Amino acid sequence: MFERRHLHALPVALLALVLAACQTPPRTSFPELTYSHLEPIRLAAAEIEVKDAYVPPLRAPNVEHQMPVAPAAAATRWARDRLQPGGPEGRAVFTIVDAGVVETKLKGSDGLEGVFTTDQSERYDATLAIEIDIYDRAGVRLGGVTSTVKRSRTVAENASLAERDQVWFSLTEAMMTDLDREVEAAIRKHLKLYLR
């Protein structure tokens, strides 16, 4: 009787072990990308509007929806942290036009060389494009700037999920560094009449 009871418990214990083995490991947490430590860019507008016009396909070859920090989310945070209203009327509109990251499978080494070589198996090509427009109180566009930054990264065929996440995070972080530099320079050059 005692042995039979334990035999019935065995399938349940095995099932629990199988389910535990199938669980996805917890995702690595990354620091939040923030830009409030940088000097604010005050625009001659009473309101700053942030719009995300990019619609992710949510399917291959795009992967931005799988990333720990998607480029669109980082760009939105940048706009909220750095752009500030500095005028009595009108509005400035920050629009995310493109924030896609596309995966391309790479060809590995053939034959015996392939056995002893760790190849780069995927390349990730990221594009982040934004527009900033200044409007008066009647809705007439007074001026604007556009900026597009691109970055690429590859991952090794034996990369873990955590290592891939790190590559994706670094990709977004590098693009945001580029965007920050380019947009600030463009604003100071082309929208200097609307800086406060």
pLDDT in tens, 37-95: 999 999 999 999 999 999 999 999 999 999 999 999 999 999 999 999 999 999 999 99
Q: What is the mean pLDDT of residues 175-196?
A: 97
pLDDT of 165 above 90: yes
The answer to pTM > 0.95 is no
DSSP states of the chain as a string?
-HHHHHHHHHHHHHHHHHHHHHSPPPPPP------TTSPPEEES-SEEEEEE------STTB-GGGSSS-HHHHHHHHHHHHEEE-SSS-EEEEEEEE--EEEEE-PPPPHHHHHS---EEEEEEEEEEEEEEEE-TTS-EEEEEEEEEEEEEEEETT--HHHHHHHHHHHHHHHHHHHHHHHHHHHHHHSGGGB-
Domains and CATH numbers, the chain: 34-194 (3.30.160)
Picking from 113-117, 125-129, 150-154, 189-193, which range would have the lowest pLDDT averaged per residue?
113-117
* pLDDT above 50 for 179: yes
What is the average pLDDT across 131-159?
Answer: 97
Helix axes 71-82, 161-190, angle to 10 degrees: 40
